[in-house]
Chains A and B, each alone.
Chain A
């Protein structure tokens, strides 16, 4: 009986798959090839995702155009805050939600089951976020220039490392939230935090204009710190103060350290 069925299946198989078709030849690809493939996939998926695009581009762009039109002459004050918002949206909220659902759908497990090492899994996501933030910054920057924004060249240059630092810090926080909770809770929480930080975290409104304790607190939040630092370099062209940079570094290190211990594949 077994012999019959064996002859039958292997007979058919011989027709469909010549011997040697699946001869084992395992091995891992060059790490940089894996990193490139993973980064490209993550970036494409972020850009393709409709809700994500709304969060990362449409809302910051709408706010930029709306606020600059309503408050003529305020574009210089608005742009740094919009850039900080774009970073927070992509690196924190977008990243957390994507990771929450990727875990839910077994993507992280699937990818760790391949030859993809852990560091590629992490760096691919980070690089993809940096690429998306760079694209956002370019689109927002060009729009702002059309609206009359004229930043000092030195400030533009200094804003690049700040954007990178902000992306990594918010990205670490996004991984922390998205890497441990259930997808639905991540969705709710990441959006709620986005909203609170936007209104009370020193993003939409500068910390010094926020009431009392909230204003003080906002200076020590990554949202307030990134907005203040970008504001400083893009208006003065001078390096940012030490305080906001330290705030970003401490948040990033704390969130990253915690995330590396709490992030679960499913």
Chain B
């Protein structure tokens, strides 16, 4: 075991799983620090759900290994299950069961559950408590599933696309919930297709493609542009003299007026470069408006790594 293995809630090394001819997971590595949030990002079919189900002990890997809270999730499932919360990607309730009954059933399996009525209330399901599961809307089913994952006060939760199909209010609420879980020391492994979700919630992001991790880091690390390739944009009066600016900027910077009054500086943008730009504006007696040093969005990074084409 690696020295920091104890601090990892989930540790996956060289994990592989095939379904017939499909390599669903192909040599995946990842680690979730205790008390932190890890987001798995990846196109449809990348192997996210397969990875999560291996960690939950529902699937046996072909090779490689997963350790969850230090335990083998398949052979030690009985010890592990009471300690984790699981929100599967869709499904997970008797079609005819009432929402409140389902949550109470899951709660009654644990020693010190949260109050099911309170949980239904904060998830906006109180009015749907006596509605059969099959007649709940998609977003309501998702919320119930999340409630079932949390009700046992787990130390680690697996959330497979927790906000899929939710309206913006519900999504905000789930984000608050996940932030509160993290603040209380719960470890969270979630999958998502929403870049802003990963950016807002995750301490670390792993981008998965075709069963492998193609990038890993904090959202900041992933979206930081390579050194010397940043850009600075601002608006000001049209047709300012760029010669002077270029002379003042460090070697290798390019400045252009892309549209009338819209300026872009490419190159190594450091604090000095920003100061140069604003003094140049001051020299002209104009204001630099909407000045920003852009980062790439997580979506840009994602598309760059996984391709822009739709896979089949």
Contacts and interface: CB of A to CB of B under 8 A. Distances in A.
Given A25-B112, A41-B101, A106 B183 contact: no
Contacts of A34: 108-109
A27 B181 contact: no
Given A21-B180, A25-B112, A28-B109, A115 B82 contact: yes
B153 A26 contact: yes
B124 to A, nearest CB: 12
A132 to B, nearest CB: 15
B184 A19 contact: yes
Given A17-B177, A109-B58, A28 B154 contact: no
A178 to B, nearest CB: 14
Contacts of B148: 110, 114
Interface in A102-136: 102, 105-107, 109-117
A105 B109 contact: no
A14 B152 CA distance: 21
Contacts of A110: 86, 88, 91-93, 106, 148
A24 B94 contact: no
Interface residues of A, number: 46
B112 A13 contact: no
B104 A37 contact: yes
Contacts of B232: none
B209 interface: no
A22 B91 contact: no
Contacts of A117: 78
B218 A2 contact: yes
Contact of B185 (A14, A16, A23, A112): A23
Contact of A115 (B94, B150, B152, B295): B152
Contact of A23 (B58, B95, B153): B153
B96 A49 contact: yes
Interface of B: 56, 58, 77-78, 81-84, 86, 88, 90-97, 101, 104-106, 108-112, 114, 122, 148, 150, 152-155, 173, 175-177, 179-181, 183-186, 199-201, 218-220, 295
Interface of A: 1-2, 5-6, 9-10, 12-14, 16-17, 19-29, 33-34, 37-38, 41, 44-45, 48-49, 101-102, 105-107, 109-117, 265
